[in-house]
Amino acid sequence: MTAAILDGKALASQLREETAEKVARFVGEYQSAPCLAAVLVGDDPASEIYVRNKQRACERAGIESRLHRLPAKTTQDELLSLIAQLNQDTSVHGILVQLPLPKGLDEKQVLDAVHPLKDVDAFHPENVGRIAQGRPRFLPCTPHGIQQLLLRNGIPIAGKHVVVIGRSEIVGKPMAMMLVQRGDGGDATVTVCHSRTKDLRAVTRLADILIVAIGRAKFVTADMVKPGAVVVDVGMNRTEEGLFGDVDFGPVSEVASWITPVPGGVGPLTIAMLLENTVEAARLMRGKEPTG
């Protein structure tokens, strides 16, 4: 068996086209474009690349992109003051604070300061709570991209056992919450594994769908995967040998039925869903229900 590729790059292109159409309708209705404001603190090279890619994606979709650069020595009060200004600016529909923040800044307090209606990353406690209750305002970008990748490739989720390795606030926890909800893209039985999980291999081999987001290169090996399982690799690990996911791609692809590559798998979908959330935020600010 050789796994079929879950092509996130191709799907992201399709999703961006759909978003561009929504943007065009929004502009036609309101004579202004949705606007995403990004806040970049410090000079982390990876963050620079991520923000640049997000800006380019916004431009291609017709979304206005504003970048607020702050020096690494920025204080907590200065950063919170900027976020307060962006919250009050009615021309800004979405606010993105690029992570990680420099040492000395309270990441949780900063993310909590973003207004829930402009929280297009879906990190605010109010938005997380809405996800838990099955009535989301926005869905977190990476988990939503994974869900769309499965749905649009016709991979059944309902009734399947999904094992998520990793319990981060960005991927692991929201992914689990989304997949257990009733309805399309949900109704799964979900197990979340982490550093304290005993006999991890025994648990992962139960998975019909295995989602890996732990940040350790080639951590998941072929003997950890049930034959025929769907494997989604969220990892992006830069090593001296190159860029690798959390899954040992070659051997695992001989066991799985579907697998995401790294790069070209989950990564492009994260940005695509960020654009989608920005458009929905703009419509919510206009008092409109989100589009389908």
Out of 54, 118, 160, 218, which one is annotated catalytic? 54
Domain ranges in the chain with CATH number 3.40.50.10860: 30-120
Look at residue 160 and tell me whether its pLDDT is greater than 90.
yes
Going by pLDDT thresholds of 50, 70 and 90, the confidence category of residue 138 is very high
Give the pLDDT confidence score for residue 287 in this predicted structure.
Answer: 79
pLDDT of 288 above 80 = no
Instruction: Let me know if domain 30-120 sits in CATH 3.40.50.300.
Output: no
22, 98, 147, 218: the active-site residue: 98
**DSSP conformational letter for 266:** S
Average pLDDT over residues 29-33: 95
* Residue 61 structure tokens: 């979709």
Q: Does position 290 have pLDDT exceeding 60, yes or no? A: no
Rounded Cα distance, 28 and 91, in Å:
16
pLDDT in tens, 227-249: 999 999 999 998 888 889 999 99
Alpha helices in the chain (DSSP H): 8-30, 45-61, 76-88, 107-113, 125-132, 141-152, 172-180, 200-204, 249-253, 267-285
**pLDDT number for residue 104:** 93
- Does the annotation mark 181 as catalytic? no
What's the CATH class of domain 141-268? alpha beta
Active site residue 121: yes
* Mean of pLDDT values over 69-88: 97
As a whole number, mean pLDDT of residues 194-204 equals 96
- CA dist 210 and 188 (Å) reads 12
For the chain, the average pLDDT equals 95
- What is the model's pLDDT at position 49? 87
| Res 231: pLDDT | 98
Which entry of 121, 233, 246, 248 is annotated as an active-site residue?
A: 121
Residue 240's pLDDT is 85
pLDDT value for 1: 66
Residue % of the chain over a pLDDT of 90 = 92
Cα–Cα distance, 208 to 124 (Å, whole number): 31
Domain with CATH 3.40.50.720 in the chain: 141-268
Q: What is the per-residue pLDDT for 134?
A: 94
Residues 165-198 have pLDDT tens digits of 999 999 999 999 999 999 999 999 999 999 999 9
Tell me the average pLDDT across 67-95. 97
Sign of CA dihedral 233, 236, 239, 242: positive
Q: Is 0.85 surpassed by the pTM of this model?
A: yes
Average pLDDT over residues 133-149: 97
What is the crossing angle of helices 141-152 and 267-285, to 10°? 110
- Confirm whether 98 is a catalytic residue: yes
